[in-house]
Structure formats: C-alpha cells, structure tokens
Amino acid sequence: MDRLQPRTRTAALLLAVALANAGGVVAYLPLFTLLLPLRVEALDELAKIDLLTATAVVGGIVASGANILFGWLSDLSATKGGGRRRWVVGGLVALGVSYIGLSLAGTPAQLVLAVALAQAAINAVLAPLFAIIAEEVPARRKGIAGGMLALGNPVAAAFAVVLLAEADLAQMARFALVPAAAFALILPLLALRPSKEVLAPELAIPWERRDILIASISRLLVQLSCATLTLYLLYYFKTLTLVEGDAAGLVGRVLTISYIIPLPVALVIGRWSDLAGTRKPFLFGAALVGTVGLIGMAFAETAWHGAVAFCVYATGTAVFLSLHVTFAMQLLPRPDRRGCDLGLVNLTNTVPAIIGTLIVWHLATPENFTPVLLTFAALKALGAIVILGVRERPRAFPA
C-alpha cells in the first residue's frame, strides 16, 4: 500500500480511519448499552442499579488512566522507531481476553474487575489509534476525517441491535463477536503503513499548550449533556404527552435517527472546514445548534416535539464532537507526545460523565427535566464561546 499515489493513498487512509474508529466504538458501545446491563441484571436483579453504577465509576476511572498510560507508551515506541500499531494489536488481544472474563464473571466483584480490565484493553486500543490518526491524516484532510468519525456510532449501534435481535445467540458468542468485529474493522488501518511524506508537514506546525487547553475546556462543557442525557432519555419522554405508542419504543426510534442524521452533516461540514481553512466557526455553530435543541427539549410539551428537539441537539453535538477530535489533533504542542496529550484530552470524555450525573441528580425530578436541560443548554453555549478563544491560524491547513 505504500506505493499508492498520494491522492489515492489519502482516500484509502480516510476510509481506513473511519472503519478503525467504528471498530473502536464497537469495542465499547455494545458492552455498555446492552451486554453489561444484561450481565448485571443476571447477577443481582435487586441491586442492579448499584452494581451498574459501581462498574461505571470504576470503569471510568480506569479508562481515564489507561488512555494516558497507553498513549504515553505508544509515544515511547514511536520515538524509538517501533511505531504505534503494535500497541493497537496488543490492545485488541487484551480486549478479547477481557471479554472472556466479562462472560465468565460469576460474582459482582468479578464483574467489576472484568469491566476494569475491559476498559484498560479498550483504551489500549483507542489511545494509540487516535495518535495514529493525528500523525498520518494530512492537516488539509482532517476536517473530512473528523466528519467520517461520525460513522462510528451508527455502525456500533446497528451491531448492538443485531446482537440483541439474535435471541438464540449464546452469551459467550455475543461477547466473542464484539472483539472479533472490532478487529475486523481496525485491520485495514493496521495494514496501511505510515507515510513519511504525510507526516512531515504536520511536524513543522508548532502550537502553544494554551490552545489545546482552551479547546479541551470547550469540549468538556459541550460533553456534559452528552455523557448523561441519553441515560435519562426514557424518563424525560415519560414527562411529555405521548400521541401514540409507548415511551420506550419512541426512545429506540429517536436514538436510531439521531445516530444516522449527523453522519452526512458531519461529512459536509468537515469538508467545508477543510476548504475554508478554519475550524472554529463550524465548531461554534455546531455547539449553538446543540444548544437550540436542548432549549427545545426543555419547553417541549409533546413527545414528538421533544423527539425533534433531541435530534437537533444530537446532530449539532455530534458534528461538534467529530470535528473537534481532529481539530484537537492539530493543536497538540509536541509531536513526540501525541499519545499522552490525546490521553489528557480524553479526560473531557470521562470527567463529564461524573459531573453531568451530579447535575441531573441535583436538578431533575421524575416529573420535570426543564431545569437540567436549561442548565445543560447554558453550559453548551458557554462551550461554543470558549472555542473562539483558540488562536487558530488562517489557512493553517489549506485544501
């Protein structure tokens, strides 16, 4: 693959990046939306909420530390000429082992430990994977690459639905299929060797640490609603007037639509930002669209109004997050520690889950979600404003 022409190679790389990111999402999304809740319920029906909370907290802490650790280890490997792909392969092997542990866990303590190991393995895959994307995708194509990252959620969600639909599928088979699918999706990127010609221009662009810090604060503010809102979505819709059907069925349909809509929008916006040579206006606009969606949810009276508002919120937020991933990659101050720095940026994915849960706990009631939705809207709008503080160079990455 190293002999491909630059344009053809870039196209192949972008496709491989999209598939690899989808593989990374497959590694964890079916687990935390389907497989883990089922295992928790099977182990302890009466204390399932407490047990699920414990696995989430422990897993989140392990994920935060593991992402930084494996990012740093891949930095050392890359500096010594060994590359990062070996760490992705090692992470995939560990992922397979951890899923065996998840399927065999017979006590709550064993399940919590298995989740911790799984989170370590997942982040052993993700940390070097995103450092590879940061290094090898040319700056002039990072916008479209960010848009293509939006493919991850719908692919992983569809895979989770398939796992659930196969009622006769054995538990062990379900747990085995997840790492197998993740490996299959990541394999094309592993097979595509890095190009020094692609790396050289990136290494010549120095950025100050303040810029990545500001961008991370913006992402954290935008993420606060994302980390918790889906978890409470069913309860939210039960506070609204249902025209027909049940709330659970509506939530399933709304989530499916909200995963699909952002993909074409993110691709268009990502490519547009490549051509414009700037990311900030698009990030600002996407965060504001998400804010409008939250305000619409806060004042919705019927479930369908709430569903439309949620899709607006989800689209703006998903576009912001997908474009922000590659934007943050461009702001990394030191090429020799991309993995570690991206691990620190990853805290904006894990910390909001804790903060957002506390916000919901303090402000929401089973009958009224308006205060928490307006609070999330204000925080998201603040995140939109904060991103404008990044000192982005005009035409820093011309198309």
Domain holding 50, by residue range, is 6-203
Same domain, yes or no: 182 and 261:
no
Same domain, yes or no: 244 and 146:
no
Q: Is 393 within the bounds of a domain?
A: no
CATH number of the domain where residue 92 is located: 1.20.1250.20
Same domain, yes or no: 262 and 379:
yes
Tokens of 199: 């790396």
Please enumerate in sequence order all residues whose Cβ is within 8 A of that of 16, keeping only pairs 6 or more positions apart, or say none: 188, 189, 192
* Cα–Cα distance for residue pair 71/91, rounded to 1 Å: 12
Q: Is 181 within the bounds of a domain?
A: yes
Same domain, yes or no: 270 and 285:
yes
Q: Is 397 within the bounds of a domain?
A: no
Domain total in the chain: 2
Position of tokens 């607006």?
Answer: 312
Q: pTM for this one?
A: 0.74
Q: What is the CA radius of gyration of the chain?
A: 21
* Cα–Cα distance for residue pair 178/189, rounded to 1 Å: 18
pLDDT at 97: 94
Boundary-marking domain end, from 174, 203, 232: 203
Indicate the burial class of 235 (C-beta count within 10 angstroms; 0-12, 13-18, 19 or more): middle
Q: Is 392 within the bounds of a domain?
A: no
Same domain, yes or no: 154 and 221:
no
Tokens of 325: 């991933």
Q: What 8-state DSSP symbol labels residue 358?
A: H
* Cα–Cα distance for residue pair 87/66, rounded to 1 Å: 13
Same domain, yes or no: 56 and 173:
yes
Q: Is 166 within the bounds of a domain?
A: yes
Q: Is 54 within the bounds of a domain?
A: yes
Same domain, yes or no: 54 and 197:
yes
Same domain, yes or no: 143 and 229:
no
Residue type for 313, please? Answer: Y
What's the mean per-residue pLDDT of the chain?
81
Boundary-marking domain end, from 184, 203, 222: 203
Same domain, yes or no: 164 and 198:
yes
Position of tokens 């939705």?
Answer: 373
Position of tokens 């889906």?
Answer: 230
pLDDT at 245: 61
What residue ranges of the chain have pLDDT lower than 70?
A: 1-9, 47-49, 167, 195-208, 227, 231, 243-249, 332-340, 357, 393-399
Beta strands in the chain (DSSP E): none
Tokens of 378: 């204000």
Residue 205 burial (CB count, 10 A):
14
Cβ pair 182, 20 in contact under 8 A: no
Q: Is 73 within the bounds of a domain?
A: yes
Same domain, yes or no: 131 and 239:
no
Same domain, yes or no: 141 and 230:
no
pLDDT at 77: 84
* Cα–Cα distance for residue pair 108/54, rounded to 1 Å: 10
Boundary-marking domain end, from 158, 187, 203: 203
Q: Is 396 within the bounds of a domain?
A: no
* Cα–Cα distance for residue pair 90/74, rounded to 1 Å: 11
pLDDT at 195: 63
Cβ pair 73, 91 in contact under 8 A: no
Q: What's the pLDDT tens digit per position in 288-318?
A: 999 999 999 999 988 889 999 999 999 999 8
Same domain, yes or no: 164 and 233:
no
Q: Which H/E stretch holds residue 340?
A: helix 338-345
Q: Is 395 left (phi over 0), alpha (psi -120 to 50) or beta?
A: left
